[in-house]
């Protein structure tokens, strides 16, 4: 159900008894393409079909070469912050039904099929209080490690019941307060003492214990980051400062060996950096000085624009290591209901990341309240789904799917894990061009193209030319302010778009 709040765009309204689903892809066949369209004024992942035909007009052609493969897709997803669990705890019957619908929208085949979840290790700016898994000072044996919150673990188990292929990774924003030189989690400080003191060993044990307690509850983790934004000297939310060299040495001398010699963490991926894109190559130059590093990849956040060349340089430095976009959100704009600009910002960033060797893209909170919270530090930001928890004119069980929900869905639903990005003419486009795109091959043998047109007026007529179809083409029209995903069965290694 559409509801217009913002000029010519809208949110899709759901509640405890109804929510629109994404139409099933169905079977792809030779000569036919399935197209999903979202635009500012009318559609949200609207499914149509089209067929390859003889060309009758001049179209924009872009070569796609599926024989030139790049990075594999890790996945797409969001962060299971404290506020995500808090906003749906202690719900009545209608509230529980709404929670099911919320999770299905993200993780089920009738939704946008998220495949990755980020889980905070302790408090962050989306918490309602400061807390860690180890609140007792001088607890060097971890005897009082925090018992898992039943609501949070219950939520995660519900996600796994919908899809058992979810990759979870943990991120700490800060070490426990008593292990930090400032004595508080909020604001930047450093781990107490020098690298050779007990606190670095204790922090490694802390991260491993986090994996263990979830394992004992039946939940496995795919990875963890060393620290969220370890170079960010924040005063606003929890943080711990760790240099590039300290990240490298911490994994080499402490965390890496301990994880590799523990049966339930030996296969868990270790992710360093987990900060801005403009700093990633500097981080890589230091971290990868250890040729035998046990670090599996680097995380990047989207808050500094551009710097795509830094991703390419990082990939070329160590092509055996992955890059993952681990955090993105929009401030005040993000919880303006129905603002289409949010969708275009997300789609553009995802495309540029995928063009430049990033293997996936993770949003901030799965959902927030109507103020962009809760947040004990006042960091109110947007999310792809907003929950209404107020009693008034509208149903208090409503939730609103923002335009950016569908923007992410154009990728997450049709580029499953282990899809491979392939070479395309979009790679040579000016980075500021309003027309952007990416191409990939899925494990099922489908070719997928996602295209974004940010232009206010221009319409682009494109043509997919599949060589096995006797040079027939598929005409694709990109209207202003639109996103389209095109899926068809692969024929050969060279396709013209």
Q: Do domains 32-71+420-496 and 74-412 have the same CATH topology?
A: no
434: nearest Cα among 417, 458, 416, 414: 458
Report the run of H or E that residue 152 belongs to, with start and end. helix 150-162
Q: Indicate the SS3 state at residue 306.
A: coil
How far apart, in whole angstroms, are the C-alpha atoms of residue 38 and residue 414?
14
| Overall size of the chain counted in residues | 497
What are the sequence ranges of the domains in the chain? Answer: 32-71+420-496, 74-412
Quickly count: other Cβ atoms within 10 Å of residue 114's Cβ: 27
- Helix (H) / strand (E) element for 369: namely strand 367-369
| The token pair that represents 303 in the structure block | 């808050």
Rg (CA), the chain: 23
- 279: DSSP letter: G
CA distance linking residue 28 with residue 51, whole number of Å: 11
Backbone angles phi, psi at 441, to 5 degrees: -115, 130
What pLDDT shows up at residue 431?
A: 72
Token code pair at residue 32:
């036919």
Is domain 32-71+420-496 classified as CATH 2.60.120.10? no
CA-CA distance, 339 to 325, in Å (whole number)? 23
What is the spatial order of strands in the sheet that 446-453 belongs to?
Answer: 46-51, 32-39, 482-489, 446-453, 435-441, 420-424, 63-72, 494-496, 460-466, 473-478
| 229: alpha, beta or left? (left if phi > 0; alpha if psi -120 to 50) | left
DSSP class per residue in 220-235 = --SEEES-SSTT---S
- Helices 308-317 and 340-355: crossing angle in degrees, nearest 10, is 30
Q: Which residues of the chain have pLDDT under 50?
A: 392-393, 493-497
From 306, 311, 314, 416, select the one nearest 356 (Cα to Cα).
Answer: 311
Geometric angle at alpha carbon 241, from 238 and 243, rounded to 5°: 155
Across the strands, what pairs with 367?
A: 385
Tokens of 108: 């089920």
User: Is 61 tagged catalytic?
Assistant: no
Interval 224-271: pLDDT, tens: 999 999 999 888 999 999 999 999 999 999 999 999 999 999 999 999
Give the active site residue among 113, 130, 246, 327: 327
Nearest Cα residue to 334 out of 404, 388, 418: 404
Contact at 8 Å (CB) between 484 and 476? Answer: yes
By the 8 A CB rule, do 109 and 24 touch? yes
CA–CA distance, 462 with 58 (Å, rounded to integer): 9
Q: Active-site residue among 229, 398, 441, 469?
A: 229
Max CA pair span of the chain: 76
Six token digits for residue 148: 């898992």
Say which residue the tokens 């949003």 belong to.
363
Q: Is 207 helix (H, G, I), strand (E, B) or coil?
A: helix
Q: Is 110 exposed, middle or buried (0-12, 13-18, 19+ CB in 10 A)?
A: middle
Specify whether 327 is catalytic.
Answer: yes
Provide the token pair at 458.
């221009």
CATH architecture of 74-412: Alpha-Beta Barrel (3.20)
**H or E stretch covering 246:** helix 244-250
Instruction: Give every CB contact of residue 121 below 8 A, 6+ residues apart in sequence.
Output: 133, 170, 171, 172, 173, 206, 207, 210, 224
Report the pLDDT value the prediction gives residue 391, as an integer from 0 to 100: 52
| Axis-axis angle for helices 93-107, 150-162 (nearest 10) | 50
Instruction: Round to whole Å and give the CA distance between 441 and 488.
Output: 10
pLDDT recorded at residue 468:
52
* The pLDDT value given to residue 56: 83
């Amino acid at each position: 159900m559409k509801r217009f709040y913002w000029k010519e765009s809208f949110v899709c309204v759901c509640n405890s008894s109804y929510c629109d689903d994404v139409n099933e892809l169905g079977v792809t066949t030779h000569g036919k393409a399935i197209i999903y369209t979202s635009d500012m004024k009318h559609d949200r992942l609207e499914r149509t079909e089209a067929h390859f035909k003889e060309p009758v007009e001049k179209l924009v052609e872009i070569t796609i070469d599926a024989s030139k493969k790049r990075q594999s897709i890790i996945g797409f997803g969001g962060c299971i912050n404290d506020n995500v669990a808090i906003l749906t705890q202690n719900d009545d019957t209608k509230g529980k039904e709404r929670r099911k619908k919320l999770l299905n929208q993200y993780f089920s085949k009738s939704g946008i099929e998220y495949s990755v979840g980020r889980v905070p290790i302790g408090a962050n700016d989306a918490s309602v209080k400061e807390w860690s898994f180890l609140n007792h000072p001088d607890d060097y044996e971890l005897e009082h490690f925090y018992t898992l919150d039943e609501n949070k673990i219950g939520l995660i188990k519900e996600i796994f019941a919908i899809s058992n292929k979810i990759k979870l990774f943990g991120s700490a924003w800060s070490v426990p307060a008593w292990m930090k030189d400032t004595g508080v989690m909020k604001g930047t400080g450093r781990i107490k003492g020098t690298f050779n003191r007990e606190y670095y060993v204790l922090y490694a044990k802390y991260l491993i214990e986090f994996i263990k307690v979830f394992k004992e509850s039946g939940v496995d983790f795919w990875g963890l980051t060393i620290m969220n934004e370890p170079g960010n000297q924040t005063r606003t939310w929890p943080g711990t400062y760790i240099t590039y060299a300290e990240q490298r040495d911490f994994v080499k001398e402490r965390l890496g060996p301990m994880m590799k010699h523990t049966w339930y963490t030996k296969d868990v991926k270790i992710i360093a950096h987990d900060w801005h894109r403009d700093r990633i190559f500097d981080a890589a130059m230091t971290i990868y000085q250890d040729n035998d590093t046990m670090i599996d990849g680097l995380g990047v956040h989207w808050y500094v624009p551009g710097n795509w060349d830094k991703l390419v340089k990082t990939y070329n430095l160590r092509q055996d290591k992955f890059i993952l976009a681990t955090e993105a959100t929009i401030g005040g704009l993000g919880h303006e209901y129905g603002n289409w600009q949010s969708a275009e910002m997300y789609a553009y960033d995802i495309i540029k990341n995928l063009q430049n060797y990033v293997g996936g893209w993770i949003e901030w909170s799965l959902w927030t309240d109507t103020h962009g919270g809760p947040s004990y530090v006042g960091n109110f930001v947007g999310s792809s789904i907003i929950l209404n928890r107020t009693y008034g004119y509208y149903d208090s069980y409503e939730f609103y799917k923002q335009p950016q929900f569908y923007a992410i869905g154009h990728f997450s639903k049709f580029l499953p894990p282990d899809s491979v990005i392939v070479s395309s003419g979009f790679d040579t486009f000016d980075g500021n061009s309003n027309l952007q795109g990416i191409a990939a091959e899925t494990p099922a043998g489908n070719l997928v193209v996602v295209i974004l047109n940010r232009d206010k007026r221009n319409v682009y007529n494109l043509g997919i030319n599949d060589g096995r179809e006797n040079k027939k083409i598929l005409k694709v029209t990109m209207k202003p302010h639109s996103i389209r995903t095109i899926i068809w069965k692969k024929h050969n290694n060279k396709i013209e778009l």
